Structure 1
Amino acid sequence: MSAHGPLLVHHLGVFVTDFAAAEEFWTAALAPLGIVPGYRADGLAEYWHDGHDTPSLALQHVTDPAAETRGLHLAFAARTHTQVDAFHRAALAHGGADRYAPRHWEEYRAYCAFVSDPVGNNVEALVKEERG
């Protein structure tokens, strides 16, 4: 159990054929959310909140295109609208493509931004909001 309660996910792996492009995108996009590379090795980068190695995202190089992660939708919690905005800008500046610019989504009761990573995975940053 974590300090915030039970974890739903301990870690997630994303497998990529172009490790350099993926590492550039993920490092830049996650930085505004306080998610940093915590461990690096040849063809491997693990991301987590500074000082907390769980939950984590592992980016791993694969040579077989059929093994590459595609079709994933992964959403990251942000603390502020400013973090969501910065995530969106950083992702677009480092190989990502716009899906939806930051805005309030009434149906999700959240402020969200959506981008595609370099291979088309749907990556989101959001702040949940309570609205009456």
Structure 2
Amino acid sequence: MTADFPFIHHVTLLVADFKASERFYAAALAPLDVSIEAHEGNAAELWRSDADTPSFGMYTAPSPEEATRGLHLAFTARSRAEVDAFHEAALENGGTEREAPRVWPEYRAYCAFVNDPDGNNIEAVYKLEQGETA
């Protein structure tokens, strides 16, 4: 029965520089309890330690021009501290600033946004509990 499965099973990015993207995603997603498993041939799969779906795949693009660009991908955080740690690790490992961590009242969420090495908009989002504010 598919009702128990996540809405999205997996997402795959094609990256221009595998090593740079591997370093970025391994560091940025570690605070969110996401593990990375690199495979031969410049490929990797990432998932949470407690579930193998949804998962995130990363492969070297056939050419730099074919790398995934313009994507907005948001990862769930379980706390504001995880969002903060994601943001810090991302910037220290090849990411560039889009939006520093803050409350977004219109989304009832605490979020941070960074560009990955290929310019994709990568977000960590913590949904605020009922009554929780800035």
- Residue 88 of structure 2 aligns with an amino acid whose one-letter code is R
Pairs aligned (count): 131
TM-score, scaled to structure 1: 0.92
What is the percent sequence identity of the aligned residues?
51
| Runs of 4+ deviating beyond 2 Å | 38-42
The alpha carbon displacement at 1:119 in A equals 1.3
1:7 positional shift: 1.3
The answer to whether the 8 Å contact 1:24/1:94 transfers is: yes
Mind listing any 5+ residue stretches in structure 2 that lack a counterpart?
A: none
Residue 5 (structure 1) shift: 3.3
Give the drift of 1:39.
5.0
Distance, in Å, in 1 between the alignment partners of 2:50 and 2:113 is 27
Using the size of structure 2 for normalisation, the TM-score is 0.90
**1:40 alignment counterpart:** 39
Range with bigger deviation, 54-63 or 84-93: 54-63
List gaps (5 residues or longer) in structure 1. none
Note if 1:50 corresponds to 2:12.
no
Looking at secondary structure, tell me which structure has more strand per residue: 1
Aligned-pair CA distance for 1:129: 1.1
Match of 2:64 in 1: 65
Within a 5 Å distance, the mapping from 1:87-98 to structure 2 comes to 87-98=86-97
**RMSD between superposed Cα atoms in Å:** 1.7
What residue is the counterpart of 2:77 in the other structure?
A: 78
